[in-house]
Amino acid sequence: IGDLLRDYDLVALQEADGGSLRSGYINQVEHLALLGSFPYWHQQLNRNLGRLAQHSNGVLSRLRPWDIEDHPLPGPAGRGAILVRFGEGPDALVVVVMHLALGARTRTRQLAYIRELIGGYRHQVLMGDMNTHANDLLQTSPLRDLGLLAPQVEATFPSWRPQRCLDHILLSPTLTLEKVQVLAQPISDHLPVAVEIRLPASLIGDSLPITSTSPRGPVE
């Protein structure tokens, strides 16, 4: 997995373990940052089952975030989103990593919450296991007024015989899609999704500084 991640600048992780019996007491977010040579990483612990399991979301980045926020999502405890911001003001790039609920009603509440988080930004990337199809997200969910693009429609779940497209990277129309791919890498029960995007000129330079490739530890 670490070798696979080396090709990317920003990685979203769901259901990673933060260091328990389940993972041999290894923080998988930190470990993957080391293996992939990511300078910045952040773990969000969503379900703390003590020594048995530490269910977490994670972000790995080669770019220095200006800010990172943890957001518990509405509904039963255990679901969260990470907001990562590059740059300042309404022209900043905001990335939200999420793992949404299985139930439609709770998922709608969670998407409404995320809609409020990102409404003030022009450049938006939403990524993660959204447990629903792109048509639902773009046409009937609280995100429908944003004009987001869902370039990926291939099935991602289950990885050994994909039948449903549950994993997405949604883009605001201000970002130019260069490439999208579902990777034939059954490293979990979901196949990974990858995109290459071209950023607006206003985001290139000081807003997205790339630093050394030696991991520095968690970003707070």
Per-residue pLDDT of the chain (220 residues; tens, 9 = 90+): 888 999 999 999 999 999 999 899 999 999 999 999 999 999 999 999 888 999 999 999 999 999 999 999 999 999 999 999 999 999 999 999 999 999 999 999 999 999 999 999 999 999 999 999 999 999 999 999 999 999 988 999 999 999 999 999 999 999 999 999 999 999 899 999 999 999 888 777 655 544 444 444 455 4
Q: Give strand pairing partners of 98.
A: 81, 128
Alpha carbon distance 184, 70 (integer Å): 30
Q: What is the DSSP letter of 144?
A: G
pLDDT recorded at residue 152: 86
Start-to-end CA distance of the chain, whole Å, equals 24
Q: Give strand pairing partners of 61.
A: 10, 40
Q: Residues 24, 5: contact at Cβ < 8 Å?
A: no
Give the closest residue to 18 by CA, choosing from 9, 7, 30.
30
pLDDT recorded at residue 205: 62
pLDDT recorded at residue 79: 96
Alpha carbon distance 86, 125 (integer Å): 11
User: Which of left, alpha, beta for 15 (phi over 0: left; psi -120 to 50: alpha)?
Assistant: left
Q: What is the DSSP letter of 121?
A: -
Length of the chain: 220
Q: What is the DSSP letter of 73?
A: P
Domains in the chain and their CATH numbers? 1-64 (no CATH), 65-207 (3.60.10.10)
Alpha carbon distance 130, 81 (integer Å): 11
pLDDT recorded at residue 218: 57
